[in-house]
Amino acid sequence: MAKIGISIIERVRSGKMLVIAVSAIIVIIFLLISNNLVKELGRQERERMDIWAQATQRLAKANIDSDFEFLLGIISQNNSIPVLITDENFNISEFRNFNLPDKEDADKSLFEELTPRNQEYLQKRLHRPGGDTPLREMVKRDNHFIEVELFGGVRQYIYYEDSTLLRSLSLYPFIQMVVMVILALICYLAVVYTKRAEQNRVWVGLSKETAHQLGTPISSLMAWSEYLQATGTDREITDEIDKDVKRLSTIADRFSKIGSQPDMQLEYLNDVVSRSLDYMRHRISGQVALEMHLSDDDHGVLLSRPLMEWVMENLTKNAVDAMQGAGRIEITTGTDSKNVWIEVSDTGKGIPRKNFKKVFHPGFTTKKRGWGLGLTLVKRIIEEYHRGHIYVKESEPGKGTTFRIELPRA
């Protein structure tokens, strides 16, 4: 049964990883498609500008038989790509499709007719502020410059920028990636929340059912104990039966508290720890030394005594298992400015650092027989019911492990 339970938990984890992997693949595919689309549009804009430059060059060299209307039609069709036309000394003569700071020049196309502010704006666009590369070097390297030879060997340079549409599309893959990551994250959180809610219902259902099922035999055992006492059975025997019945009642009470907010009362940590360990001391091997180092500064803390005793018993049992029934367990309590804390140390086989967090995951166990739910339950009790924190403080394979519990001071 334990192996089946662990297998189910592993499948859930594998399902989450599969969702993440599929989402990542989809994002990469869309990014590649969008990137190729942007590159294709950029190539088409370059071709359009080459045609535009050729039309400008032919118009400048045109004779009386040239088709002026056709050439002017090609030139006038560019109403989206920003263009600057300069002479050989890179003095701007004309421009098109720039969003100028001073709007009164919006209908002009000659540089000399612009306001000083707009002229400065276009000069900066041409020289690309912040760059130290001379313009002639930029012309050689940058495919956004097109050289045009006019009548008489005169040269002009046409500088163009990406259109607003292309600039917007170049940002689209990144916007798309962010949106898809957010959607994937929302889907993942929805799956996790659903699984967690489902696990909570299973936890609560099993706990309540266990408490309910224990109720009937406990009542029966109590009645049998009273009957045996009435029939003169040895008092020592009936006392031992009563202890076990009381223990079963405590276990049933603990299970009944899972899934509902337990009754939190002001308790002193040293007393709670001492009581739980006194019970365990008589139920572990004589080869295990159980030592307590209780702080003199015993601050109160709001907690559920039955659940906290359950936590201590679970940690102690885990320590005994880790030492294979022989070694030393040290329980230390203390306090700082905000918390009271408990440390449970053993001299067992230790935990590799990569498993410090995994030990609290459902189904994680190093035992041949076990569900791997003890530390999961401990974490749930400490963090969800007591608003505290539990973690592996330190561990070294072959030397031992220290778990630390921190609880807010009352």
Q: pLDDT in tens for each of the 410 residues of the chain?
A: 444 444 545 555 566 677 677 777 877 787 788 778 777 777 777 777 677 666 666 665 555 554 445 445 555 566 677 888 888 777 887 787 888 888 887 777 787 888 888 888 888 877 765 555 566 665 556 667 777 776 666 777 777 777 777 777 777 777 777 887 788 788 778 877 777 777 667 666 666 667 667 777 778 888 888 878 888 788 888 888 888 887 788 777 767 766 667 778 888 888 888 888 887 777 787 888 888 898 887 778 888 888 888 899 889 988 888 888 788 999 999 988 888 999 999 998 888 888 888 888 876 776 665 556 778 888 988 988 889 999 999 998 888 999 999 999 87
Phi then psi for residue 282, to 5 deg, are -90, 0
Q: Is 98 left (phi over 0), alpha (psi -120 to 50) or beta?
A: beta
Query: pLDDT value at position 71?
Result: 47
| CB-based contact 150:60 (threshold 8 Å) | yes
Distance from C-alpha of 113 to C-alpha of 277, rounded to nearest angstrom: 93
Query: pLDDT value at position 298?
Result: 76
Query: pLDDT value at position 3?
Result: 45
Distance from C-alpha of 15 to C-alpha of 25, rounded to nearest angstrom: 15
Query: pLDDT value at position 21?
Result: 76
Query: pLDDT value at position 4?
Result: 42
pTM of this prediction? 0.50
Query: pLDDT value at position 341?
Result: 92
Query: pLDDT value at position 62?
Result: 54
Query: pLDDT value at position 406?
Result: 93
- Residue 307: name the closest of 263, 345, 277, 274 by CA: 263
Query: pLDDT value at position 126?
Result: 78
Distance from C-alpha of 211 to C-alpha of 249, rounded to nearest angstrom: 9
Query: pLDDT value at position 206?
Result: 67
Cβ neighbors of 136 (< 8 A, separation 6 or more) are none
3-state secondary structure the chain: CHHHHHHHHHHHHHHHHHHHHHHHHHHHHHHHHHHHHHHHHHHHHHHHHHHHHHHHHHHHCCCCCCCHHHHHHHHHCCCCCCEEEECCCCCEEEEECCCCCCHHHCCCCEHHHCCHHHHHHHHHHHHCCCCCCCHHHHHHHCCCEEEEECHHHCEEEEEECCCHHHHHHHHHHHHHHHHHHHHHHHHHHHHHHHHHHHHHHHHHHHHHHHHHHHHHHHHHHHHHHHHHHHCCCCHHHHHHHHHHHHHHHHHHHHHHHCCCCCCCEEEEHHHHHHHHHHHHHCCCCCCEEEEEECCCCCCEEEECHHHHHHHHHHHHHHHHHHCCCCEEEEEEEEECCCEEEEEEEECCCCCCHHHCCHHHCCCCCCCCCCCCCHHHHHHHHHHHHCCCEEEEEEEECCCEEEEEEEEECC
Q: How many CA atoms lie within 13 A of 317 on its CB side?
A: 16
Query: pLDDT value at position 37?
Result: 79
Distance of CA 52 to the CA centre of its chain: 51
| CB-based contact 362:372 (threshold 8 Å) | yes
Cβ neighbors of 278 (< 8 A, separation 6 or more) are none
| CB-based contact 374:314 (threshold 8 Å) | yes
Q: How many CA atoms lie within 13 A of 301 on its CB side?
A: 32
- Residue 145: name the closest of 134, 163, 133, 159 by CA: 159
Query: pLDDT value at position 252?
Result: 76
Query: pLDDT value at position 68?
Result: 43
**Burial track 171-203 (b if 16+ CB lie within 10 A, e otherwise):** eebeeeeeebeeebeeeeeeeeeeeeeeeeeeb
Cα three-residue angle 164-169-173, rounded to 5 degrees: 150
Tokens of 83: 């263009």
Structural domains in the chain, CATH included, are 8-167 (no CATH), 262-408 (3.30.565.10)
Distance from C-alpha of 286 to C-alpha of 113, rounded to nearest angstrom: 101
